[in-house]
């Protein structure tokens, strides 16, 4: 819901400070970076653990919201830094989404997943609806206060993940197996994994359709 409260309105923000053409370019950059990070996020969560990647993403997200709050306060304004922080936010969203979905698969049984994804679907739609409405009401005149609330919510989320979510056993086993691999080994393994994925044409069409629907 935090993303839905600001991202839909960033086009207006960028247009007001940079112009329409630059605003479109900035939004495209954020989206493309998010897509690329999603591909890397899967491998990172496999190599270093789901929880570790999620915690990293949430810590960086809190840093991004907090910096945006400072840069849109009554005492200081920096749209350029705000753009950089939104880019970090896009990276964090992609990393946490991939790692979270992988963890949910690992900690659930096959007969539980239909119910689990139904809850996720409704929660996602509800967050979009509520976040968009609240963002629309607060973004123009209360952006500073909105960013304070988002920073606080992100900090709470980060603490909940750190103290109340445990690493899945399957992810822990994979993480142990990848220990000692150097950077070159990680790069080779990354391309090997995705070569196998890209060879599945049906799955790639499904991914492409999903990207069009989401973005």
The answer to whether 150 and 6 are in contact (CB under 8 A) is yes
Give the domain 3-179 fold: Growth Hormone; Chain: A; (1.20.1250)
For residue 109, what are its two tokens? 């049984």
Q: Is the pLDDT of residue 74 over 70?
A: yes
Q: Of all helices (H) and strands (E), which one includes residue 154?
A: helix 143-164
What residue has token string 């915690």? 55
- Give all strands (DSSP E) within the chain, no chain letters: 72-73, 76-77
76: helix, strand or coil: strand
| Distance in angstroms (rounded) separating the CA atoms of residues 28 and 6 | 16
| Distance in angstroms (rounded) separating the CA atoms of residues 11 and 6 | 10
Mean pLDDT across the chain: 81
Report how far Cα 75 is from the mean position of its chain's Cα atoms. Answer: 29
Q: Is the pLDDT of residue 25 over 80?
A: yes
Identify the pLDDT of residue 94: 85
DSSP class of 165: -
Confidence of residue 1 (pLDDT cuts 50, 70, 90): low
Longest C-alpha distance within the chain, in Å?
54
Weakest mean pLDDT among 24-28, 59-63, 115-119, 208-212: 208-212
| Distance in angstroms (rounded) separating the CA atoms of residues 105 and 79 | 39
| Distance in angstroms (rounded) separating the CA atoms of residues 49 and 182 | 16
Report how far Cα 212 is from the mean position of its chain's Cα atoms. Answer: 17
Q: Is the pLDDT of residue 4 over 60?
A: yes
Identify the pLDDT of residue 194: 72
Q: pLDDT, tens digit, for every residue of 141-188?
A: 888 998 998 899 899 999 998 888 887 755 555 555 555 566 666 667
| Torsion angle of C-alpha atoms 178, 182, 188, 193, degrees rounded to 10 | 20
Does the pTM surpass 0.75? The reply is: yes
């Amino acid at each position: 819901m935090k993303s839905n409260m600001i991202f839909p309105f960033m086009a207006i923000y960028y247009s007001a400070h940079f112009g329409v053409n630059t605003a479109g370019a900035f939004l495209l950059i954020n989206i493309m970076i998010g897509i690329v990070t999603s591909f890397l996020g899967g491998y990172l969560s496999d190599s270093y653990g789901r929880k570790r990647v999620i915690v990293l993403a949430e810590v960086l997200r809190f840093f991004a919201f907090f910096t945006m709050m400072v840069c849109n306060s009554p005492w200081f304004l920096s749209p350029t830094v705000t753009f950089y922080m939104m880019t970090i936010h896009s990276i964090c969203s992609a990393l946490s989404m991939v790692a979270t979905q992988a963890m949910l698969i690992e900690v659930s049984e096959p007969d539980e997943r239909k119910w689990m994804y139904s809850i996720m679907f409704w929660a996602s739609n509800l967050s979009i609806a509520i976040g968009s409405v609240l963002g629309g009401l607060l973004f123009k005149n209360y952006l500073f206060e909105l960013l304070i609330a988002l920073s606080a919510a992100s900090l709470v989320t980060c603490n909940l993940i750190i103290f109340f979510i445990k690493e899945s056993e399957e992810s822990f086993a994979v993480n142990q197996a990848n220990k000692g691999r150097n950077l070159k080994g990680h790069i080779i393994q990354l391309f090997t994994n995705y070569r196998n994925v890209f060879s599945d044409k049906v799955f790639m069409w499904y991914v492409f359709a999903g990207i069009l629907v989401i973005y």
